[in-house]
Structure 1
Amino acid sequence: MGDVTVPNFFIVGAPKSGTTALSVFLSEHPQIFFSDPKEPEYFAKDLKKPQNWLCGNDFDEYQKLFESANEKHLVVGEGSVMYMFSKTAIREIYNFNPEAKLIIIVRNPLDLAYSFHEHLRFDFEEDQGDFAKAWALQEKRKKGLNLPKNIRNPSYLQYGEVAMLGNQVEKVFNIFPSNQIKIIVYDDFIKSNRKEYLKVLKFLGVQDDNRKEFNRYNERLNHKWRGLSVFRRKLPKGMQNFIRVLNENLTKLPYGERFGFTNRTKINRKPLPQSLKREMSDFFRDDVKKLSKIIKRDLNYWLCD
C-alpha cells in the first residue's frame, strides 16, 4: 500500500446517519485520502446525478478526484451514501475492486426516514413539508403521481425503501465477504465517537492519529433565504465550486461563520406523532429483525411495541 490512487474503501450508507462526520474525521487523518466532494456517486449508474455534478458517469473525471493521493496515504476512499440504496452500485464497486472495504452506518429507520425527508426539503427535491403527508403519498408517487418538480430520483421519495436497511445490508453481504464490511450502529457512534472511530481505523489498517475533537455535521438544517439558495444552484459548476471552497476556507477561520456565505440555519424538528411512529414501526418490523440477525444485535428497541 502507499501507492494507491484509486479508492479502496467506500462509505456506502446509510444517508442521514453520521456519514458526513465520519468522512470529515477520516479525511483529516494523515494516512487517509478522502475524495472532495464526499459523494461522487459514480458507481450508482442507476441514479440520476445532480445538475452540474463533478464527474457524473465519466470514469476519467472520477479518477481525477483521487489524483492528489500520494505515498503517505495508505488508503483512499469516498463516501457516496446512496450506493447501498442503489440497485447496481455495490456490484459495480465489486467489479471495480473486489478487495475494497465497505463501511456502513445503520440508524433507526423511523429517524432516518424523517431526517431524509428533511434533507430532500433542504435540497428542494420535496415539496411536501409535512412528513406524515409525504409518508402517505408513497404509493401514489410510486405510480408517478404528485411528484415534486425538482426531484431527480423519484425513488428517493419512497422513504420506507430508503430506510429499509435490512434488505440493503443483506445485499451488500451477498456480494462482499463479511471481513471486508464494517457495520457501525449510529447510536454507538453518537454515544462514543472516538471508540467507533478507532474501530474504523483498525478496520482500514491505519494508525490512531490521537484525534480528540469530534464535531457534529449537517444537523437539522434549513435555508435562511430559500431564494438565495435557488439562485446559487443555477450558477455554472465552476462558480458553484468557487463559492463552496471559499466558504469552507472562510468558516475555518476564527469567527469565520460570520463572514462565510452561509445560508443555513439549524431548526428544531417536531417529534413524530405517536400514531405515525406505530405505523412506521409495523412497516419496518420485519426488516429490523433481518438487520438484527445480520449484525447479530437486537435492534428492536428502535421500534414501538
Structure 2
Amino acid sequence: MSKPNFFIVGAPKAGTTSIVSYLGESPEVYISPIKEPHFFSSDIRCSNFTQADCKSACIDIDRYLKKVPLQHLHIAFVKDIANYLELFREAQAELAIGEASTGYMYSEFAAQNIAKFSQSAKIIMLLRDPVDRAYSHWKMNVAAGKEPKNKPFSQALEDDFNKKTKGYCRSHLYVESGLYAAQVKRYFEFFPREQILIIKYENLVRAPEIVMTNLFNFLGVKPVEVDLHRRENVSRIIRFPKFLAFAKKMGVKYVFPNKVISLLKRLLDDSRKYFLSTSVKSELNKKFFLKDIETLESVCGIKFDEWKG
C-alpha cells in the first residue's frame, strides 16, 4: 500500500486549500481524500474538543473507509495507523503522495511523529502575515455564526487570547496560530532544511506561477498548467446567509453556470464592511506578533519585512 511522502502542515487560512487544489491537477500527485486527517497531531484529539464544528468532524472512520471510491472531506481526525494508511489505498503510480493537515503547525508532537513515520518526508509550510491570517480566520468564524457580527475584530482577538480555557478546537487561537517561530523550529529540529519548503502566502497571491513551479520541482514532479486564479476556502461574510444556505440545499450550483454562481457570491458578499484599518493592524502586530516575527527570521533565515509595518 502507498504511504505519504509529503505533508502540508499549515498554517490555517494561509492558502493550503488552494495549494491542494492546484496540486491535485497533476497526474503525478495524489492527495488524501480527507484533506486534513490530523493523524500525526497526537495532542489534537476529539475527546478534548468543545467546538461543535470540530465535533462534527469526528467521523465514524470505519464506516467512511467502506465507501468506494473514498469520499472527499475537508477535515477529520484519524487516530489509528491502519485507518490512516487506508486513505492512500487509491493511489496508483503517483510520485508525490501527501495530505494537508493545518493542525500540524500548532501541534507540539506532529513534527516528531511525522519524522518517526518517514525521515525522508518533505514538509511544506505556508505562512501568512499573522494579523491578516487572524483577520481571515475571524471573518470565517463570523460568517459561520461562531462570532457576533457586532464585536470588532480586535476585541474578538483579545477576548480569545485571554480565555482561561484554550486549545485546538477549544478556542479560536487567533494569536497562537500566527506565532510561527516555535512551530517552524520544531520541524527544523527533526528534518534537514532541504526537505522543508516555506511559502509566503503573499507570494502565492502575487506570483502564483512561480510559487507553483517551485513547489512542483520541490516535490520532484513535472509542472502542469493549472487555473491559478481559482481560490479555495476564501473567508467571506455573507448577507442573507439563510438564503445562501437554502440555495445550496436546493442545488443551485448544478442549475446555473459557474459565472452566475460567482456573481451571486459577489453580490451577497458583505466582507467590505469589515475593513481592517492600517492603525488597528499595526497596533495588533506590535502587541502580539512583532517579536515573534523577528525570532522567526532568525530561525528560518528568511526576511518577513512586509509583515512588520
TM-score, length-normalised on structure 2?
0.78
Report the 3-state secondary structure (helix = DSSP H, G, I; strand = E; otherwise coil) of the residue aligned with 2:30. Answer: strand
- The CA distance in 1 between the partners of 2:83 and 2:259, in whole Å, is 32
Report the 3-state secondary structure (helix = DSSP H, G, I; strand = E; otherwise coil) of the residue aligned with 1:5. Answer: coil
The offset of 1:116, in angstroms, is 1.4
Q: Tell me which residue corresponds to 1:90.
A: 111
Report the 3-state secondary structure (helix = DSSP H, G, I; strand = E; otherwise coil) of the residue aligned with 1:215. Answer: coil
Aligned pairs (5 A) from 1:243-282: 251=253, 255=257, 266-269=269-272, 270-282=274-286
The offset of 1:33, in angstroms, is 0.3
Aligned pairs (5 A) from 1:193-204: 193-204=208-219
Q: Tell me which residue corresponds to 2:186.
A: 171
Q: Tell me which residue corresponds to 2:176.
A: 161
Q: Tell me which residue corresponds to 1:303.
A: 308
- The CA distance in 2 between the partners of 1:153 and 1:208, in whole Å, is 36
Q: Tell me which residue corresponds to 1:239.
A: none
- The CA distance in 2 between the partners of 1:15 and 1:284, in whole Å, is 16
For the Cα contact (< 8 Å) 1:251–1:257, is it kept in 2? no
Q: Tell me which residue corresponds to 2:44.
A: 47
91, 114, 129: which is aligned to 2:135?
A: 114
- The CA distance in 1 between the partners of 2:39 and 2:233, in whole Å, is 22
1:191 matches 2:191: no
For the Cα contact (< 8 Å) 2:43–2:108, is it kept in 1? yes
Aligned-CA RMSD value: 3.3
For the Cα contact (< 8 Å) 1:289–1:300, is it kept in 2? no
- The CA distance in 2 between the partners of 1:159 and 1:93, in whole Å, is 25
- The CA distance in 2 between the partners of 1:190 and 1:158, in whole Å, is 24
In the alignment, structure 1 segments of 5+ residues that lack a partner are 232-242
Q: Tell me which residue corresponds to 1:59.
A: 81
Query: What is the percent sequence identity of the aligned residues?
Result: 29
State the one-letter code of the partner of 1:153: C
1:16 matches 2:17: no
- The CA distance in 1 between the partners of 2:259 and 2:305, in whole Å, is 40
Larger displacement relative to structure 2 (272-281 or 173-182):
272-281
State the one-letter code of the partner of 2:99: E
The offset of 1:105, in angstroms, is 0.9
What are the superposed Cα offsets for residues 77-111 of structure 1, whole Å, 9 maximum, x if unpaired?
11111211112222111111111111011111110
**Gap change, CA 1:176 and 1:230, over 3 Å in 2:** farther
State the one-letter code of the partner of 1:137: D
For the Cα contact (< 8 Å) 1:9–1:100, is it kept in 2? yes
For the Cα contact (< 8 Å) 2:181–2:292, is it kept in 1? yes
Report the 3-state secondary structure (helix = DSSP H, G, I; strand = E; otherwise coil) of the residue aligned with 1:53. Answer: coil
What are the superposed Cα offsets for residues 42-62 of structure 1, whole Å, 9 maximum, x if unpaired?
222222443243443233332
**Gap change, CA 1:17 and 1:75, over 3 Å in 2:** same
For the Cα contact (< 8 Å) 1:20–1:218, is it kept in 2? yes
**Gap change, CA 1:195 and 1:253, over 3 Å in 2:** farther
The offset of 1:271, in angstroms, is 2.7
Report the 3-state secondary structure (helix = DSSP H, G, I; strand = E; otherwise coil) of the residue aligned with 1:38. Answer: strand
**Gap change, CA 1:106 and 1:140, over 3 Å in 2:** closer
For the Cα contact (< 8 Å) 2:239–2:270, is it kept in 1? no
Which structure carries more relative contact order (alpha carbon 8 Å, separation 6+)?
Answer: 2
1:294 matches 2:309: no
The offset of 1:158, in angstroms, is 3.0
Larger displacement relative to structure 2 (117-126 or 23-32):
117-126
For the Cα contact (< 8 Å) 2:17–2:233, is it kept in 1? yes
State the one-letter code of the partner of 2:271: N
Q: Tell me which residue corresponds to 1:138.
A: 160
The offset of 1:157, in angstroms, is 2.5
Q: Tell me which residue corresponds to 1:103.
A: 124
**Gap change, CA 1:34 and 1:279, over 3 Å in 2:** same
The offset of 1:266, in angstroms, is 3.7
In the alignment, structure 2 segments of 5+ residues that lack a partner are 47-53, 62-76
- The CA distance in 2 between the partners of 1:153 and 1:60, in whole Å, is 25
State the one-letter code of the partner of 1:219: V
Report the 3-state secondary structure (helix = DSSP H, G, I; strand = E; otherwise coil) of the residue aligned with 1:195. Answer: helix
TM-score, length-normalised on structure 1?
0.79
- The CA distance in 2 between the partners of 1:125 and 1:38, in whole Å, is 23
